[in-house]
Structure formats: C-alpha cells, structure tokens
Amino acid sequence: MKNPPKTMFESAFAEDTYKGLTSYPKFLLSKYIYDEKGDKLFQKIMQMPEYYLTACEFDILKMNSSAIADYFSSEKGFDLIELGAGDGKKTKILLQELVNKNLKFDYLPVDISQHALDELELSLKKEIPEVNVNVQQGTYFETLEKLSEYNSRKKVILVLGSNIGNLLHEKAVDFLANIGKAMSREDMLFMGFDQKKHPQAILDAYNDPAGITEEFNKNLLVRINNELEGDFDPEKFLHWESYNPETGTARSFLVSKIQQKVTINKLRLEVNFDAWESIHTEISQKYDDSIVNWLASEAGLSVEHSFSDKDNCFKNYIFRRK
C-alpha cells in the first residue's frame, strides 16, 4: 500500500498511529486507550485489589481532607483546576470537604475524554450540587496554555492518580515547568506520585490475573480496528509488563506471538510483525522523595508539604513556585 501524505490524516489519532507503527521499535500512545470502552475498563482496573494506587490515594484524601482543604483555601476564593479528572471519585472527597467548610471556589475538571467529563458533571449535580462545575475537554498540554488566563485569584492545580508517571523524567520536568509558568506565587500544585516499592507489587498492579489490564492495553488495537479500519487480531498479541527497580520505570508492551501482517485501510498502511516483536504502549514511573524534589527543582518549583498513606506506597505533594 502507498504511504499517505500528511494531509490525508483525518485525526491526530490517525497520524500518531501511523507514526508509531512505522517507527522502530514500534509504539502507540497510551492516551488513545481512553475511548468510551477504555474509560470503563480503567474504572474496573481501579477497583482491582492488585491496583493499590487508587486505594492508597483514597486513604490519603480521606485521612487528610481537612488539612488539604486548609492549604487550598483563600479569602478571595480559588479556582480548582484538575488535570485528568476521569470519574472524579477521589476528587469528590475533597470537593465535599471544601463545601463543608463553606469555601468559595469553582471546579474546572479537565480530561481528554468528553464522555468522562459528561458523566462527572452529571454525577456532581446529583451528589454535590453546591459545586460550581465548568468542564474543559482537551489534553493537559492544550489546557496548560489556557491556565495563565485564570489569574484574578488563587489557582489550585490538581493532578491525582500519578498521571505524571506516564512521562519519563525529562518530559516530566517540562510538564512541571509548564505548569509553573502558569502559576503565580499564591498558586499551588497538588499532585500524586506513586512511590517505589516491592517490584512484584508493581508488576501485579499492571498484570492482573483477571486479564482486565490486558484488555485495557489491547483496546489500542480494537480502537485502530474500529476507527481506522484495521484488522488487528488482539489474540495474536501478548500483554507484557516489565519493571526496572533501578530507574523506577514500569513499561507495558503488546508482543506479536507470530510473524504476521496487519492492514490499516484508512492509513493505506501494511504493518509487518516478526514473531515476538513488540509495540511499546505505556510507561508508569515510580518515585521517591529525592526524585520528586529533584524534578521540582529542575522545573523551578519547590515541595511545600506531602501526604502519605500508612505504608508509604503513594504520596501527594504540594508544590509552589520558587
């Protein structure tokens, strides 16, 4: 098949898929897992006993909601801007505490998935109707360009769930620095970081025996089939997870079990796979205090405080501009 010119890409998803599958080694971007099906699968993942991250952060927010709300508060009120809001289950703990304390604030949840935002907005109207919600659909990086527009009062930028873990350190510094540029001295960043721990616990979190994470990872192939007229057979690919305790990097792959050829009609592309050739799909970085402080320093930020669960599996840090 003839390779399509750039102008023939009908979406960013199409262009990024073409780029990833014609690279060596092959890769696909994890953000595209999150269509409507991917969103639902991730909700299931967060309920798995092996996926400790959610339960640990829930505990942190429940145990410390009053203290966290006091850090957020401001006489003039504040804008609570959450990057990657998802279903907002954990955030609702904080939102309820802010309402209970009669604090003046607006909640601006940001997510790449409009479906997730619609469900979040609907659930908040039923559960915590006092919250003034203004949803923002888009990527983190699109949103960061708009953050500086919110400059009439304090901004609290919220990033839960160790979403920064999807970035290697160099890009994580850039991400933090871009947030810092949009922050005033009064503003703060409240962000979750999954901590280094027993390597097996990390591997189990991304390779559960029920196969939910495998289905989640393979949703990239299903989405290519549905939206780009591909003919991937997900059963011909193995979900594989690795973890390097030295670097703290967990990596997810899809590995071709056989030599095979995949056709993607809308990209006019044929992709050849050798047996055991991989597609890299996601990273999940793990941290300790020294790494977080280094990232912050490189990005022009400083750590003001942190909150941890009882086993130090997960931490939420408060950052300010230096």
Alpha-carbon gap, residue 119 to 130, rounded angstroms: 17
Mean pLDDT of the 84-107 span = 95
Give the bridge partners for 244, in sequence order. Answer: 249
Superfamily per CATH, domain 52-195+287-321: Vaccinia Virus protein VP39 (3.40.50.150)
- Sheet containing 237-244: give its strands across: 26-27, 278-285, 249-256, 237-244
pLDDT at res. 1: 52
DSSP 108-175: EEEES-HHHHHHHHHHHHHH-TTSEE--EES-HHHHHHHHTT--SSEEEEEE-TTGGGGS-HHHHHHH
Mean pLDDT of the 120-127 span = 96
- Tell me the backbone φ, ψ of residue 312, rounded to 5 degrees: 55, 35
Mean pLDDT of the 70-94 span = 94
CA distances from 255 to 218, 234, 250 (A): 11, 10, 16
What is the tens place of the pLDDT at every residue in 146-183?
Answer: 776 777 899 999 999 998 999 999 999 999 999 999 89
Q: 174 is written with which tokens? A: 């850039």
User: Average per-residue pLDDT in the chain?
Assistant: 93
- Residues 6 or more apart whose CB falls under 8 angstroms from that of 130 comprise 99
pTM of the model: 0.89
**Residue 286 predicted with pLDDT over 60:** yes
CA distances from 272 to 3, 21, 88, 282 (A): 14, 9, 40, 21
pLDDT at res. 138: 83
Return the domain boundaries, the chain: 6-33+208-285, 52-195+287-321
Q: Which amino acid is at 283?
A: I
Q: What's the distance, CA 56 to chain centroid?
A: 16
Q: Higher model confidence: residue 35 or residue 299?
A: 299
pLDDT at res. 152: 85
Q: Kindly state the percentage of the chain with pLDDT values over 90.
A: 84
pLDDT at res. 116: 85
Q: 151 is written with which tokens? A: 């400059």
Mean pLDDT of the 113-135 span = 94
Alpha-carbon gap, residue 314 to 164, rounded angstroms: 13
pLDDT at res. 3: 57
Alpha-carbon gap, residue 185 to 152, rounded angstroms: 13
Helix (H) or strand (E) holding 217: helix 212-228
Q: 141 is written with which tokens? A: 């990086």
Buried/exposed code over 135-167 (b: 16+ C-beta within 10 A; e: otherwise): bbbbebeebbeebeebeebbbbbbbbbbbbbbb
